[in-house]
Amino acid sequence: MPTIKQFQVTFDCAEPERIARFWCEVLGYVTPPPPKGFATWDDFHRSRPAEERGAWFACSDPSGVGPRLYFQRVPEGKVVKNRVHLDVRVGTGLVGEERLATLEAECARLVALGAVHVQTLYADDDNESCILMQDIEGNEFCLD
């Protein structure tokens, strides 16, 4: 049987550090310390050639359970719907009005951070409610 491998989720983006810090707030993740020999990330970035400054940033789950998120600057902007998205599981185990209230409260918190509320999908015979959102660069994600 194959062993389970660790993985990271990589985002193409315009402003890696800004979007990494957004996702840290969403998920309770932390940014790593700057590389050895640098007191701050700003010091590290200033040491790089101009074209490499701020080219990437990462954040990780402080418990070590969730995947690392890696953000890399790309020249082109987002044009079409994501092929992969994150489901932020804030309503796990909740149903009905309690679930919807929890999702709406988290939606309000994330909108205050710069996210965009796209659509609320209300519970039906097959599915519980969820909220479709976009992060600060337009990447889709769900509150589930």
pLDDT digits (tens, 9 = 90+) for 34-50: 999 999 988 998 899 98
The verdict on residue 132 lying in a domain is yes
Q: Which domain holds residue 115?
A: 86-143
Do 60 and 92 reside in the same domain of the chain? no
The verdict on residue 94 lying in a domain is yes
The verdict on residue 109 lying in a domain is yes
Tokens found for residue 88 = 């932020």
Do 104 and 62 reside in the same domain of the chain? no
Do 21 and 51 reside in the same domain of the chain? yes
Do 18 and 66 reside in the same domain of the chain? yes
The verdict on residue 42 lying in a domain is yes
pLDDT the model gives residue 1: 67
The verdict on residue 3 lying in a domain is no
Greater confidence, 18 or 1? 18
Do 94 and 46 reside in the same domain of the chain? no
DSSP 2-44: PPP---EEEEEES-HHHHHHHHHHHHT-BPPPPPTT-SSHHHH
Supply the pTM of this predicted model: 0.86
As for how many domains the chain has, the answer is 2
Give tens-digit pLDDT for 41-87: 889 988 999 888 889 999 999 999 999 999 999 988 888 888 789 99
Do residues 14 and 73 lie in contact, with contact meaning Cβ atoms separated by under 8 Å?
Answer: yes
Among 40, 73, 106, the domain-final residue is 73
